Amino acid sequence: MDWTHELLVVAHAGLAMLLGGAVGYERELKDRPAGFRTHMLVAGAAALLIGLGKLALTLPGILPGTGVLQIDPLRLIEAVVAGVAFIGAGTIFARRRDGAVAGITTAASLLMVAVIGVAAGLALYLVAVAATVLTLLVLTLLRVVER
């Protein structure tokens, strides 16, 4: 059995986890609800979902049936977004006293690392790295501007 395709999916997940970890580390330094490990896992899970979908579509014998599988690839991305929306919602807190809402930036960063994971899962390395850099710029530099 040729494991090359599976190892490539694992490598893409590893890259996604590394990039997601960079964003998560920034969140961890600011003591936010979702930090280093959470961001790594979200990015890795997104890349794995995309990779598994690609394997199911391209490798014969993975799924039972006629061997012909038709799927809308955007459904895989929808599944990632739906899962991250659930996790992101858990990071948002509203305080009744002053009406402030906390955790929205962390929820947005979780969505971004999921998208970074999707890009890595699709082997769009430049997109994944550039999105990570842009996310870190928004989280760090714009905070200085905001103050």
At 1, the pLDDT band (50, 70, 90 cuts) reads low
Q: Residues of the chain with pLDDT > 90: what percent? A: 50
pLDDT of 47 reads 96
- Residue with token string 């794995």: 48
Nearest to 14 by CA among 120, 126, 109, 128: 120
Give the residues across from 93 on adjacent strands: 102
CA distances (Å), origin 123, targets 46, 73, 101, 115, 127: 12, 14, 36, 12, 9
- Would you list the domain boundaries of the chain? 4-146
pLDDT level of residue 61 (50, 70, 90 thresholds) = low
* Overall residue count recorded for the chain in this entry: 147
User: Which pLDDT band holds residue 65 (cuts at 50, 70, 90)?
Assistant: low
Mean predicted confidence (pLDDT) in 94-111 = 83
% residues pLDDT > 70 (the chain) = 88
pLDDT in tens, 6-53: 999 999 999 999 999 999 999 999 888 788 999 999 999 999 999 988
